[in-house]
Amino acid sequence: MATTTAQTFKNFIGGEWVDAVSGETFESTSPATGETIGVFPRSGAEDVDRAVDVAKAAFADWRLVPAPKRGEILFALARLLEQEKPALTELMTHEMGKVKAEAGGDVQEAIDITYYMAGEGRRLFGHTTPSELRDKWNMSVRQPIGVVGAITPWNFPVAIPSWKLIPALVCGNTVVLKPATDTPALAERFVELLAEAGIPSGVVNIVHGGGGTVGERLVRHPDVRVITLTGSRETGVEVLKAAADTLTHVHLELGGKNAIIVLDDADLELAVDGILWSAFGTSGQRCTAASRVIVQKGAYAELQSRLVARVEKLRLGPGWEDDTDIGPVINRTALEKIHSYTEIGKDEGAKLLTGGEVAGDGELGKGFFYRPTVFADVDPQMRIAQEEIFGPTTALIPVGDLDEAIRVSNGIKYGLSSSIFTRDVNAAFRAMRDLEAGITYVNAGTIGAEVHLPFGGTKDTGNGHREAGQAALDVFTEWKSIYVDYSGRLQRAQIDTEEHPAP
Ligand code: NAD
């Protein structure tokens, strides 16, 4: 598609579709073919400032809209997302590159979180609790915080914006969204649907542009009270530092280096299914991707041969074709980074079993395709076993027993997802207790989160918060404790204590 025919998109600020003040633009292109998806405003600080101003003004009323009414708008959004699922899925295969089933899953995750959080409009439970004094009423309630700045990556272009915006909105906050520059059309479509569902002007705004300009201004803006970021560890550290001067709340969901453990007694065919899905789904570009497979020595040889046979059957192609197993990676920088890790793995002495090269033959040459790659005999300290590659590369690490497997699984800086394949219930429970990760799967791969459970990681994967489930409400609300004294006299807590009668 020629650039001149590409659709032009705008920022959404205060209920209006507007260009960047500078008039500058950038293009979103398909990683599968290079076709132009659209032209977007390359915004700057002045665009962010306008969006934050209107979001701040809109907060004054939105926080007072009864939460069940806010929920009703979100229920309407969920229904619109259901109607639009086929179109969003198709767009995602083009703009982000996911294969159809996974693109549909991304949209479904947004539908699920929207229904779940819309229902929160009739809950948002606080606590009532006894008082230590007579004739006194105690309770705690959740209160919205203000303007939320949401900064999102490209790998879940509809799901991740929804994980941030929907809980923020049901709690009564207003939002400025800065999506990734690789997937702006999908984020824009999501915001259009919010507007169509009836979200009032100024409550949701989108400002397109780069992390160093739009993102950084959002983080440093004194009227932004919460920053919720999903991205790399490096970006997380920068954002945390930039938010320090204004003491802005920061919620970080960062990288992973997730491992599947396969014990000798595992169902090996099931384990191979789990590894294929977790290592190569979304071309390995999931924060929960299994980039390490820790295998007990008795199963090691058999697992290797079964895995390689299955990997070599995977078909690369554009996500929109029905028989594609693996789509492209997001851009040239990613392709080059992934290949550089193949070179690093070889230099470190790991054994390349399959893959390890750019797939540039025929039509694939128009996009960014990388052959699914498996290394064997990987030492846990090698860089390919320590650093996030974010591509279709996995490392097989042999171990002697469960203790060693858990030590190796934990021996990284990240702590997002983990998994164990075993038929031994004692081993499974020890893994559930001892794996240092926010998520553990038993007899399933490292991916497959459901929206009503907390999602996030320990150690360098984040800063202690969680997305989704009830835990997300803690990011987007602050607790207020309320004491009502109806005794008609001044009662002093901790001082006016009652004498207890002797037993
Ligand atoms: P990234 O960190 O490069 O970018 C994420 C977002 O931050 C983008 O919108 C980017 O423009 C913005 N940004 C970059 N620098 C910024 C700055 N200085 N200030 C403010 N904003 C800035 O990440 P990516 O390449 O888009 O996504 C891949 C990363 O995201 C991987 O590390 C992956 O593990 C992680 N991820 C984590 C989760 C999770 O839930 N833990 C989920 C998906 C992806």
What single-letter amino acid sits at 491? Q
State yes or no: is 171 an active-site residue.
no
SS3 per-residue string spanning 73-129? HHHHHHHHHHHHHHHHHHHHHHHCCCCHHHHHHHHHHHHHHHHHHHHHCCCCCCEEE
Give the separation between CA 33 and CA 190, rounded to whole angstroms.
Answer: 24
Instruction: Choose which residue among 42, 151, 461 to substitute to test ligand 1 binding: the one with the highest number of ligand atoms within 8 A of its C-beta.
Output: 151
User: What pLDDT digit, counting tens, does each position of 442-459 carry?
Assistant: 999 999 999 999 999 999
Of the residues 287, 388, 404, 478, only one is catalytic, namely 287
Task: Tell how far the Cα of 492 is from the centroid of ligand 1, in angstroms.
Answer: 50
Task: Tell how far the Cα of 181 is from the centroid of ligand 1, in angstroms.
Answer: 11
Residue 375 C-beta-side C-alpha neighbours within 13 Å: 30
Provide the pairing of β-strand 393-399 with 373-376: parallel
Instruction: Choose which residue among 48, 230, 387 to substitute to test ligand 1 binding: the one with the highest number of ligand atoms within 8 A of its C-beta.
Output: 230
Of 131, 138, 133, 139, which Cα lies nearest the Cα of 495? 133
Give the chain's domains with CATH numbers.
7-27+37-254+462-481 (3.40.605.10), 258-442 (3.40.309.10)
Q: Would the pTM of this model clear 0.95, i.e. be above it?
A: yes
Contact 281, 289 (CB under 8 A): yes
Task: Tell how far the Cα of 232 is from the centroid of ligand 1, in angstroms.
Answer: 5
Task: Tell how far the Cα of 230 is from the centroid of ligand 1, in angstroms.
Answer: 5
Average pLDDT over the chain reads 97
Provide the pairing of β-strand 127-129 with 136-144: antiparallel
The response to whether residue 109 sits with its C-beta less than 6 Å from ligand 1 reads no
The response to whether residue 231 sits with its C-beta less than 6 Å from ligand 1 reads yes
The closest-lying atom of ligand 1 relative to the alpha carbon of residue 232 is 32
Task: Tell how far the Cα of 158 is from the centroid of ligand 1, in angstroms.
Answer: 14
For tokens 């007694």, name the residue. Answer: 265
The response to whether residue 421 sits with its C-beta less than 6 Å from ligand 1 reads no
The closest-lying atom of ligand 1 relative to the alpha carbon of residue 238 is 18
For tokens 């997002």, name the residue. Answer: 416
Q: Is it the case that residue 502 has pLDDT exceeding 70?
A: no
What single-letter amino acid sits at 157? P
Of 308, 303, 299, which Cα lies nearest the Cα of 280? 308
The response to whether residue 416 sits with its C-beta less than 6 Å from ligand 1 reads yes
The response to whether residue 99 sits with its C-beta less than 6 Å from ligand 1 reads no
The response to whether residue 329 sits with its C-beta less than 6 Å from ligand 1 reads no
Give the separation between CA 18 and CA 161, rounded to whole angstroms.
Answer: 20
φ and ψ of 200, to 5 deg: -65, 155
Torsional sign, CA 221, 222, 227, 232: positive
Residue 412 has what pLDDT? Answer: 98
Q: Is it the case that residue 246 has pLDDT exceeding 70?
A: yes
The response to whether residue 230 sits with its C-beta less than 6 Å from ligand 1 reads yes
User: What pLDDT digit, counting tens, does each position of 1-27 carry?
Assistant: 334 467 999 999 999 999 999 999 999
User: What pLDDT digit, counting tens, does each position of 327-381 carry?
Assistant: 999 999 999 999 999 999 999 999 999 999 999 889 999 999 999 999 999 999 9
Residue 3 has what pLDDT? Answer: 43
Instruction: Choose which residue among 40, 48, 177, 232 to substitute to test ligand 1 binding: the one with the highest number of ligand atoms within 8 A of its C-beta.
Output: 232
pLDDT band at 237 (very low <50, low <70, confident <90, very high): very high
Task: Tell how far the Cα of 252 is from the centroid of ligand 1, in angstroms.
Answer: 10
User: What pLDDT digit, counting tens, does each position of 20-50 carry?
Assistant: 999 999 999 999 999 999 999 999 999 999 9
Q: Whose CA is nearest to atom 23 of ligand 1?
A: 231
Residue 498 has what pLDDT? Answer: 73
Of the residues 95, 216, 253, 388, only one is catalytic, namely 253
Residue 342 C-beta-side C-alpha neighbours within 13 Å: 21
Task: Tell how far the Cα of 410 is from the centroid of ligand 1, in angstroms.
Answer: 23
Q: How close are the terminal C-alpha atoms of the chain, in Å?
A: 87
State yes or no: is 253 an active-site residue.
yes
Q: Helix 425-434 and helix 402-410: axis angle, to 10°? A: 20
Q: Whose CA is nearest to atom 44 of ligand 1?
A: 287
Q: Is it the case that residue 125 has pLDDT exceeding 70?
A: yes
Q: The tokens of 120 are what?
A: 């929160």
